[in-house]
Structure 1
């Protein structure tokens, strides 16, 4: 089955019933975003655990690609089990923190320390990868005028950090004055939805502040960068034509799929909605076409009838 984009497919096709069954039969690899696709916070999307277990039972390869860098992969496994996804293994989970550690170890082969703006998820994955890092060693009253700067810092990695301070920004700016110091971001998500209409600023806000301070652009590891897909491909034999990327954010998940040559599906249980996807589809700006999903479903629970005999 040729990819939808290769066939000149316009996108935003709302599918169901036999169309979903045919699509599932045609694909061997399924990449799911997590937040807004298979769960909301501590509550699984209705039917999502059964969808995942049914795909695995039918011999499909399932992976989870998330820009959420706040948890190490072992904690994600615990969350999957806690929410009823009992068949998920750590090897199926590709977070932006895990992939950042892989990049620093296997691609950049960093020889020195990494200055980290980020929390437990980032630090744990760096530790597991054997990468030396620094970040939270300052006294409460420390300032950029009197703090110590670590020697041999060869990279700055920015992720979500709910303990972000002006001092961290200032120190990272100092390290990045060295043009040989790598500048990486786990992701550039601008914000995340909370309850009652509130939002949580994302890693992209911290990265943008550092980009302004240094005049440099960060290399992004997570979606929509294709590196996360390269991490999967390096560990599993994956054919892009046999993949379906399922997400809820047009500017991240759908663009990621387009950048990697994957067919894409938008589920309407998260951030982006059909109206915005159609506006991108009908736009005169060619760059907006990469945000357009090939397929749309209300929820991944719409997959369930396809598994019924």
Structure 2
């Protein structure tokens, strides 16, 4: 056991009680992440300098109307992905548990697929390029990832592997009670802050939105790399454990993301800018 252990800042998962309604930090985190992402998406669409031809191929109204689709895609896709990839047996035995979102259990990979499906349908209905909305969604996704990981930390879930680093913490939800990496904070930093800054440079300095698919491909590849790195510090899900000695489900699901993301970037850069 390390000589120094940082006390875990215990917080009640319930932020406030409104009569019989319990407002949880988990729900607040999703709400704030989606709200900030929506605000930033509007700014991107309004900034004509970032787009080929000086104007985005979609409007602020499109962004506003897509917000509901995005929210449903995140929640339904994330929950369904968790049920399929991580705990299929549990939800087969307890189907109603699927709707108990306050107990946690969301998959980013499932949520991403849900958002992409919503984008494809919505863009076809509105008749604007699918890749334009994918790029915008990719640029704002780090907001949700950051606050989602902070919510995981508050809940004391998805904690890290045992460690003797000076900043190790003992999580009250850990049945073993040993110092561990605060891996939720690692992921919040990488998938949230660092990824946002890189995408910000791409969109505002390199004008990546002028090449449809580059921003989306960069997000997919960089998230996959960040997730694989973080998985080396994160305790595997107990119902799955390690796969093939050292792999985790998060790693396995992230490897295709890197390949797809890099492929999307190469394909997009070989095409002409959107205005041409």
Work out whether the TM-score is over 0.5. Answer: no
Calculate the TM-score normalised by the size of structure 2: 0.30
The structure that is helix-richer by fraction is 2
- Name the structure with the higher strand share: 1
TM-score by structure 1 length?
0.27
